[in-house]
Structure 1
Amino acid sequence: MKNILHLVALCLFTTLAAPALAEHHQSKNTGTAASAHPDATRAGFEMLQAGGSATDAAMAMMLALTVVEPQSSGIGGGGFFLHHDAKQGWMQTIDGREMAPAAAGSTRFLGEDGKPLPFIQAMPSGKSVGVPGNMRLMEMAHKKWGKLPWEKLFEPAIRLAENGYVVSVSQASWLRRLQKIWVDFPEARALYWKDGGPAKSGSIIKNPELGALLRELQADGADAFYTGKTVAAISDVVANAPRSPATITADDFANYRAILRSPVCTSYRVYKICGMGPPSSGATTVLGILGAIERFDMGKLYAEEPERAWHVIGESMRLAYADREKYLADRDFVAVPVDGLIDKDYLASRSQMIALQRARPQMPGMETYPAGNPPGSVARTAAISSEVAGTTHFTAVDAEGNIANMTSTVEGPFGSQLIARGMVLNNELTDFTFAPEKDGAPVANRVEAGKRPLSSMSPTIVYNAEGEPILALGSAGGKRIIMHVTKTLIGVLDYGLSLEEAMALPNIYYGGSGLLIEKGSGLEALQTDISRLGHIVVTSGLPSKLAGAQKTEEGWIGAVDPRSTGQAVSELP
């Protein structure tokens, strides 16, 4: 498997000023680490080699990604963290999602005419910045499951910030695309432009200001992020943003808490699948799609009539996303019928709407499957939210079998485009639905002070019939994350593929123009056959950054999406 690098291949990594990794001992199972960037994977595996836990490895990856993949995630953003405890045999989740400041009201993203702003106008601005959650998440995770000293976890990220890292092809591409917007953002240009233009692939970027911040956090803990000069710097940058300045205060930071939440789990065939509950829509929507296809023999269908297998997946997505848009939001503010949305009888009844022979009629820009009425739901108006295809995911499994599985984000490419103390600040507040009302009724995911915006991040752990964890995965991709994760689960659990093979399956998504299939993939050969089933089929670039790990007879093996520049490292006994 080309994306799985065992310890003997670690010489392929090229990290500036990184120490040599410990010598391989065949009798010791160090574990596995997988992420969307080789430098971050190396940081995680360095912690495992030092005797660290899966949590230590994941937090080192989160910090390293702050430096080397700032277009996607970092300490200026937030995330969701899943942890499986090998000794206790249970899973817990931490909500480190960003929070709207006290100054945020329901009309935050309305223009002077009272209509929702265009997304491109709302994103690069002070108004889009939420209170970051990743450092409080890290603090909680380390206290509960960390083994190494807090200070140790920062070492790889500090090296990368101070000594420099190599700009990837993906990062260079984003820098080119943002060139016109950055005319208004000199701090971003100062960091990521070279010789008067966007840094090219292969360039070396150093970020000493971020290195200094990381050293403060290393010495003084997460409180150094939520008090003092870091808060002052963020507040100042947001208040003086070149576009749509806003207010974010010391009290907003003081009031932020990472929250330990119960996972959302249900069965799928012989498996148990668990994910993150609200404000994530990941678990309920992934499980909703799987619940709708469970009555179909997907393995047989894929082998004999693959176009119908993809048709069923597409129709199931339409059903589940209709419920997502109507019912999902921050559960601390809105009554979300979580149990009802994954209720077996409810999903079976929804599934009956799917005809194997024909797609439900559709028109471009219209969703023709109505939301259902899951048990425990209340009357509510559906409204579509915005979510840019950004984000990152990383997974670690340690020698004891503990699993840390985290999706982290600053939302769009380079978030709000604002830089404070060398870190990119998120634009997570644009994940709220811009229009606070629809048809005279309040929208569940409207902006409210202290609220966490709806997310599609879908970190997932799968257990077999004996209750043993066998898969951990997640992805980037905005609202498409749910589908990237779901098609991978189907590939492993229904088609019998390895995790890496399932990640490589074509991506599919139901967008405003119809059923989107991945351009250049094997699905293009089925486009005519799928169209004959009544779908409006459109080829589209559907990039993804899946990462995860799978338990095999040899042990846990990491895997990454072949579309990404990520890498996985595993050391087997």
Structure 2
Amino acid sequence: MNSAANFHVHRSVSFGIATPVSWATAAANAIRQQGGSVFDMYLAALACAWVTDPANCSPFGRMQGVFSVAGEIGCISAPSAIRQVPESALPIPVPGNIAAWFFLRRNGHLRLPFGTLIAPAVAVAREGFQPTIGLKVALESEGPDLSEAFKAIYLDETGAPREHVRNPQLANLLQILAASENETDFWCSLRATDPGPWRPEETLDNPVQRPAPRILDLEFGGRPQRLTTTAALHTWGTWTLLGAAVTMELRRHGVLRDFARAMEAYVLSTIFLLDRIPFAVGTLEPKTTRPSVDIDILADAAAIAERVIRSLDAPVDELWKDLQSTYFPGPDSWTDDANTNHFAIASGNDFLSFTTSIGPWFGSKLPWWGAGLGYSYAMESRSLFEGQTHDVTEMSPLIIEAGGRPILAIGSAGSERILGSLTYLLFLRYGLGFNDCMTDLMAKPRVFPKDGKLRMHSDFWPEARAHLQARGFEIAATGYEPNTHMGMVNAVERLDSDQFESGADPSSSGSAL
């Protein structure tokens, strides 16, 4: 298969790193060489991403993550808290990222001081960097809507992306973060210079949450494996595990033996899975007053698999009559192309999979201290559902264990394509039985139902493409590029006791080591 030439794969001994940008990967490795933990490595990488991937993340954003460290499996959830301002029709989000930084230090997860972790990002912010292809795509898309302060940082006098970007204001913010004893001191230092969008009396307290992880046990190649992800309402995690469970049901029923038909089964299972989620695709507006992820994964998987099998056997007109009852054919299928970003890091037996976001590209399009202010989807929908206290986001970091130890950290960026890319890769491995390592699976062409069509890589298997067209699906062929991607995956996989292989998605500006 002819995937993009910029696909970044690397094999290392005893560690692996895959991040959205090369500066973040280099920072994580530098911290590893200084004896840092996987959490130290992540924070150093994250700070560099704040500088060099500003369309997708910010200190004023949010994060979700799952980790396996020193034998402990856990989740960290730091979404944006929603504050309803009386004089405004829109809620003001309070970021979770900063609280997470201090939470990790307070709970003994860090080995190195903040100043050491932040030093690489400060250097890049002060000295400047050349924008990635992904950042240029975001700037060309959002440039006209950015505030003048943002334009001054990233656009030249003609309105084109700068060839060299510097952000000294963000460097100052990072140095304040390094010098602060706690998040309260940090916010007070920033607001003493610029009060920001919040009321003067308002605290920016947004404690980190520790939800129990969601776990799915399955068997592959005669070996038990365990999939672990975040399970809070504001993630794709539960739904990714549901997708994997549907795959196992379809395989159990023997409907994946024919390759082209198997690809139709994947497409149908993805449509039915997205239709099952209690939020409208592309908007995350709730379908119910109080949406919930309290589902029985195995029972739901059996029901979806049964519906897929019925649809596979149905004539084309009956198939599309059923699909008309879903979100897929109509305008509700349309979604934007804004992204998040993901970090996969492993060192020895410690694995970490974290995703961060500020909402659509550049968040609210307004900076504070040179960084994008976090965006709340409630701000877009102008509605809060009953009991909502935190933003609804689409993050789905995942760790897979075999033999009682972690073997894979993986995650993706790209709104609902997060779910699509991860379930697709799990489908190739668990459904079709591909024994390739994950980086090889990432290089294979993908298909994803989006905007009423099947977005499909141009080098997709011809027989499967012809089968899907014969079943009535319209194909939107695409290359491996950041503006029409199908999920930007980062992954680190342990191949044996010492060998690790890391990969960054062919459609991204990501970097692996």
Q: Match of 1:199, as an amino acid?
A: P
Structure 1 partner of 2:481: none
Note the C-alpha offset of 1:134: 0.9
Q: Residue 492 and residue 54 in structure 1: after superposition, are their counterparts in 2 closer, same or farther (change >3 A)?
A: farther
Structure 1 partner of 2:77: 95
Q: Which residue, 475, 482, 492 being the options, matches 1:549?
A: 492
Deviation per residue, 1:274-329 (Å, 9 max, x gap): 11112333121111222222123399976x63221221111111222122135999
Q: Residue 284 and residue 467 in structure 1: after superposition, are their counterparts in 2 closer, same or farther (change >3 A)?
A: same
Q: Which residue, 338, 342, 365 being the options, matches 1:393?
A: 342
Q: Residue 298 and residue 60 in structure 1: after superposition, are their counterparts in 2 closer, same or farther (change >3 A)?
A: farther
Q: Residue 228 and residue 449 in structure 1: after superposition, are their counterparts in 2 closer, same or farther (change >3 A)?
A: farther
Q: Residue 337 and residue 194 in structure 1: after superposition, are their counterparts in 2 closer, same or farther (change >3 A)?
A: closer
Decide whether the 8 Å contact of 2:346 with 2:409 is kept in 1.
no
3-state SS of 1:262 partner: coil
3-state SS of 2:94 partner: coil
Q: Match of 2:183, as an amino acid?
A: D
Note the C-alpha offset of 1:271: 2.0
3-state SS of 2:299 partner: helix
Q: Residue 139 and residue 101 in structure 1: after superposition, are their counterparts in 2 closer, same or farther (change >3 A)?
A: same
Could you state the TM-score of these two structures normalised by the residue count of structure 2?
A: 0.85
Instruction: Report the Cα distance in structure 2 between the residues aligned to 1:346 and 1:147, rounded to whole angstroms.
Output: 43
Deviation per residue, 1:30-81 (Å, 9 max, x gap): 5221101111100111111111111110111111100000011121211102
Q: Residue 499 and residue 104 in structure 1: after superposition, are their counterparts in 2 closer, same or farther (change >3 A)?
A: farther
Q: Residue 556 and residue 30 in structure 1: after superposition, are their counterparts in 2 closer, same or farther (change >3 A)?
A: closer
Instruction: Report the Cα distance in structure 1 between the residues aligned to 2:290 and 2:385, rounded to whole angstroms.
Output: 12
Note the C-alpha offset of 1:384: 8.9
Q: Residue 405 and residue 221 in structure 1: after superposition, are their counterparts in 2 closer, same or farther (change >3 A)?
A: farther
Instruction: Report the Cα distance in structure 1 between the residues aligned to 2:200 and 2:438, rounded to whole angstroms.
Output: 44
2:139 matches 1:179: no
Q: Residue 433 and residue 214 in structure 1: after superposition, are their counterparts in 2 closer, same or farther (change >3 A)?
A: closer
Q: Residue 46 and residue 311 in structure 1: after superposition, are their counterparts in 2 closer, same or farther (change >3 A)?
A: same
Instruction: Report the Cα distance in structure 1 between the residues aligned to 2:275 and 2:60, rounded to whole angstroms.
Output: 31
Q: Residue 525 and residue 234 in structure 1: after superposition, are their counterparts in 2 closer, same or farther (change >3 A)?
A: farther
Q: Residue 393 and residue 337 in structure 1: after superposition, are their counterparts in 2 closer, same or farther (change >3 A)?
A: closer
Q: Give ranges in structure 1 of 5+ residues lacking alignment.
A: 8-28, 109-126, 239-247, 371-382, 437-445
Q: Residue 337 and residue 457 in structure 1: after superposition, are their counterparts in 2 closer, same or farther (change >3 A)?
A: closer
Q: Residue 518 and residue 390 in structure 1: after superposition, are their counterparts in 2 closer, same or farther (change >3 A)?
A: same
Structure 2 partner of 1:137: 100
Instruction: Report the Cα distance in structure 1 between the residues aligned to 2:471 and 2:485, rounded to whole angstroms.
Output: 22
Instruction: Report the Cα distance in structure 2 between the residues aligned to 1:407 and 1:234, rounded to whole angstroms.
Output: 29
3-state SS of 2:356 partner: strand
Note the C-alpha offset of 1:173: 2.2
Q: Residue 413 and residue 326 in structure 1: after superposition, are their counterparts in 2 closer, same or farther (change >3 A)?
A: closer
Structure 2 partner of 1:212: 172
Deviation per residue, 1:179-210 (Å, 9 max, x gap): 3223xx1101110012432225xx22111111
Instruction: Report the Cα distance in structure 2 between the residues aligned to 1:412 and 1:232, rounded to whole angstroms.
Output: 28
Q: Match of 1:280, as an amino acid?
A: H
2:460 matches 1:522: yes
Q: Match of 2:207, as an amino acid?
A: R
Q: Match of 1:498, as an amino acid?
A: C
Structure 2 partner of 1:407: 355
Instruction: Report the Cα distance in structure 1 between the residues aligned to 2:68 and 2:8, rounded to whole angstroms.
Output: 24
Note the C-alpha offset of 1:509: 2.5
Q: Residue 420 and residue 364 in structure 1: after superposition, are their counterparts in 2 closer, same or farther (change >3 A)?
A: farther
Q: Match of 1:149, as an amino acid?
A: P
Decide whether the 8 Å contact of 2:396 with 2:419 is kept in 1.
yes
3-state SS of 2:63 partner: strand
Q: Match of 1:212, as an amino acid?
A: N
3-state SS of 1:165 partner: coil
Note the C-alpha offset of 1:387: 6.7
3-state SS of 2:216 partner: strand
Note the C-alpha offset of 1:535: 3.6
Q: Which residue, 311, 316, 319 being the options, matches 1:361?
A: 319
Deviation per residue, 1:351-410 (Å, 9 max, x gap): 21112334763379955389xxxxxxxxxxxx99977531110111123x1112110111
Query: Within 5 A, what are the aligned runs for 1:441-460?
Result: 446=384, 451-460=389-398
Instruction: Report the Cα distance in structure 1 between the residues aligned to 2:400 and 2:191, rounded to whole angstroms.
Output: 39
Q: Match of 1:227, as an amino acid?
A: W
Deviation per residue, 1:113-154 (Å, 9 max, x gap): xxxxxxxxxxxxxx4752111111122223332112222111
Structure 1 partner of 2:469: 531
Structure 1 partner of 2:208: 258
Name the Cα RMSD after superposition: 3.2
2:305 matches 1:351: yes
Instruction: Report the Cα distance in structure 1 between the residues aligned to 2:160 and 2:419, rounded to whole angstroms.
Output: 32
Instruction: Report the Cα distance in structure 1 between the residues aligned to 2:175 and 2:27, rounded to whole angstroms.
Output: 16
Q: Residue 224 and residue 350 in structure 1: after superposition, are their counterparts in 2 closer, same or farther (change >3 A)?
A: same
3-state SS of 2:234 partner: coil
Q: Residue 307 and residue 64 in structure 1: after superposition, are their counterparts in 2 closer, same or farther (change >3 A)?
A: same
Instruction: Report the Cα distance in structure 1 between the residues aligned to 2:322 and 2:359, rounded to whole angstroms.
Output: 26
3-state SS of 1:178 partner: helix
Structure 2 partner of 1:35: 19
Instruction: Report the Cα distance in structure 2 between the residues aligned to 1:448 and 1:213, rounded to whole angstroms.
Output: 36
Structure 1 partner of 2:3: none
Structure 2 partner of 1:373: none
Fraction of identical pairs, as percent: 18
Decide whether the 8 Å contact of 2:76 with 2:208 is kept in 1.
yes
Structure 1 partner of 2:249: 295
Q: Which residue, 278, 291, 295 being the options, matches 1:325?
A: 278
Structure 2 partner of 1:154: 118
3-state SS of 1:4 partner: strand
The number of residue pairs the alignment matches comes to 483
Q: Match of 1:501, as an amino acid?
A: D
Q: Residue 172 and residue 511 in structure 1: after superposition, are their counterparts in 2 closer, same or farther (change >3 A)?
A: closer
Instruction: Report the Cα distance in structure 2 between the residues aligned to 1:497 and 1:300, rounded to whole angstroms.
Output: 21
Structure 2 partner of 1:336: 292
Decide whether the 8 Å contact of 2:340 with 2:355 is kept in 1.
yes
Q: Match of 1:434, as an amino acid?
A: S
Structure 2 partner of 1:559: 503
Instruction: Report the Cα distance in structure 2 between the residues aligned to 1:511 and 1:504, rounded to whole angstroms.
Output: 20
Q: Residue 448 and residue 161 in structure 1: after superposition, are their counterparts in 2 closer, same or farther (change >3 A)?
A: farther
Q: Match of 2:141, as an amino acid?
A: R
Note the C-alpha offset of 1:450: 6.5
3-state SS of 2:106 partner: helix
Instruction: Report the Cα distance in structure 1 between the residues aligned to 2:121 and 2:406, rounded to whole angstroms.
Output: 30
Instruction: Report the Cα distance in structure 1 between the residues aligned to 2:320 and 2:492, rounded to whole angstroms.
Output: 37
Structure 2 partner of 1:496: 435
2:49 matches 1:65: yes
Decide whether the 8 Å contact of 2:214 with 2:237 is kept in 1.
yes
Structure 2 partner of 1:434: 381
Decide whether the 8 Å contact of 1:81 with 1:405 is kept in 2.
yes
3-state SS of 1:83 partner: strand
Query: Within 5 A, what are the aligned runs for 1:227-246?
Result: 227-231=187-191, 236=196, 238=197
2:405 matches 1:462: no
Q: Match of 1:522, as an amino acid?
A: F
3-state SS of 2:80 partner: coil
Structure 2 partner of 1:474: 411
3-state SS of 1:254 partner: coil
Structure 2 partner of 1:282: 236
Instruction: Report the Cα distance in structure 1 between the residues aligned to 2:185 and 2:130, rounded to whole angstroms.
Output: 27
3-state SS of 1:180 partner: helix
Decide whether the 8 Å contact of 2:397 with 2:410 is kept in 1.
yes
Q: Match of 1:43, as an amino acid?
A: A
Instruction: Report the Cα distance in structure 2 between the residues aligned to 1:366 and 1:511, rounded to whole angstroms.
Output: 15
Structure 2 partner of 1:194: 156
Decide whether the 8 Å contact of 1:81 with 1:459 is kept in 2.
yes
Query: Within 5 A, what are the aligned runs for 1:70-81?
Result: 70-81=54-65
Q: Residue 295 and residue 365 in structure 1: after superposition, are their counterparts in 2 closer, same or farther (change >3 A)?
A: closer
